[in-house]
Structure 1
Amino acid sequence: MIKRVWHGWTTPENADAYFRILTNEVIPGIEAKKMEGFRGIEVLRRELKIETEFCTVMTFETLDNIIALHGEDYERSYVPDAAQKVLSRWDQTAQHFEILEVRRYDA
């Protein structure tokens, strides 16, 4: 399994607007592609002193699944125009990590 990690930053005033764009437009658009090997997406948010950071973590079965979606330039990030309008800055590339081990502890 592969995790695709990407970060974007916005002002605190634009944070909720970005989250709405992400959950109402971006993620449904990803899901609609019904990509082979796509297993899900996590959205993380962190309030900093002068900005709000978002991190998305997408899970795929293999790196080949990501390459099939994005092509040979698979590390390059795609940020829709609507998101660019409310983000202050963002990662130009995504990072990819191989999952080596997962331990779960249920209460």
Structure 2
Amino acid sequence: MLSHGSIVRAWHGWTTPEDAAAYDELLNGTIAPGIMAREIPGLRGLTVLRRIPTEAPAHFLTLMTFDNWAAVERFAGQDATASVVPPTARALLARHDERSQHFEVRHHHA
């Protein structure tokens, strides 16, 4: 649940059209479930988006929601803005953000 003061971590990655399906499967079948299985205190959720219309290069956006900055650091380490990209994902990405962007939730309207 998004609440005032939560932090959203945004990260972008792009693949070639040929690698898009494999990356999508890796991200949603292995990486994201693995992150959530770590049960990081303060990590509330992880959303994976793919830009439409599907065009070359394929553009993915991950949004992770945390309770606070300490939770972000528990996930990413001391350099909390550095992107966290496993080698298996790097092999499929044409390019990606080297640094994640962080946003404070001001209001959530549902």
Q: TM-score, normalised by structure 1?
A: 0.91
Task: Please state how far the C-alpha of 1:71 moved relative to its aligned partner.
Answer: 2.3
Pick from 24, 27, 31: which aligns with 1:22? 27
**Alignment-mate amino acid for residue 10 of structure 2:** V
Cα displacement (A) at 1:28: 1.6
Q: Deviations over 1:41-96 (max 9, x none)?
A: 11110123x31100000001111111122222010011111111111000001001
- The corresponding residue for 2:68 is 62
Task: Output the amino acid matched with 1:32.
Answer: A
Aligned residues: 103
SS in structure 2 at match of 1:36:
coil
Residue 2 of structure 1 aligns with an amino acid whose one-letter code is I
Among 103, 106, 109, which residue is 1:97 paired with? Answer: 103
| 3-state secondary structure, aligned to 2:60 | strand
Distance 1:70 1:5 in 2: 13
Residue 11 of structure 2 corresponds to which residue in structure 1? 6
For structure 1, the residue ranges without an aligned partner over 5 or more in a row are: none
SS in 1 for 2:46: strand
Aligned to 1:80: 86
Structure (1 or 2) with the greater strand fraction:
1
Among 36, 41, 60, which residue is 1:31 paired with? 36
Distance of 1:38 and 1:57 partners within structure 2:
11
1:54 aligns to what SS in structure 2? strand
Fraction of identical pairs, as percent: 42
